[in-house]
Amino acid sequence: MAKQTITTIVLILFLVHGVGHFQGIVTSLGLRTSRSTSMSWLLKGLGNRTNSILCFILYLLPALGFIAAAMNFRGWVLPQSDWQDLALYSAFISMGGLALFPNALAMLFNKIGALAVNVTTIVSLLGVYWPEKIF
C-alpha cells in the first residue's frame, strides 16, 4: 500500500474515533440514546453526578486527543512528532472510559470498533509493529 493511502487511512480512523467519543459525552450530559447511560458498573456508589462528570472527562479527553493526533499526524496543527504520544495517551484513556462506562456508547458495534482502534493503536505505537519506513 502506498504511503499516502496509509496516512489517509490513519487520519480518517483517528478523526472518526475521536468524533465517536462524543456519543459518550452526550450520554454524560444526560441526553440518552436508546439504552445508553453514564452510570459506571463499578462506581455506582459515587452517585449520578460524580459518574456523569467522570464519564464526561473519560470521553472528552480521548475525543480531543484523537482529533488532535489526526491533525498532528499530517502536521496541520502541532509538530508532527507529537501525534504518537497523543494517540497513545488517548487510547489508554479511551480504554479506561470503555471499561468503566461501557454503556455510554449505545450500540455494541460502537464498543467493538472503539476497542479495536484502541488496541491497534496501543499495540502499534508500543513497538510491536509499526512500519517506520513509511513515515
User: CB of 85 within 8 A of CB of 93?
Assistant: no
Q: What pLDDT sits at residue 134?
A: 47
Please state, for a pLDDT cut of 70, what percent of the chain lies above it: 90
Q: How many domains does the chain have?
A: 1
Across residues 95-110, what is the average pLDDT?
A: 90
SS (H, E, C) 59-122: HHHHHHHHHHHHHHHCCCCCCHHHHHHHHHHHHHHHHHHHHHCHHHCCCHHHHHHHHHHHHHHH
pLDDT tens per residue across span 8-56: 888 999 999 999 999 999 988 887 666 677 788 788 789 889 999 999 9
Range of the domain at 126: 3-134
Q: What pLDDT sits at residue 78?
A: 76
Q: What is the grid cell recorded at 122?
A: 496501543
- Angstrom distance (rounded) from CA 112 to CA 83: 23
Query: Average model confidence (pLDDT) for the chain?
Result: 86
Across residues 71-86, what is the average pLDDT?
A: 83
Q: What pLDDT sits at residue 31?
A: 79
Write down the pTM of the prediction.
0.87
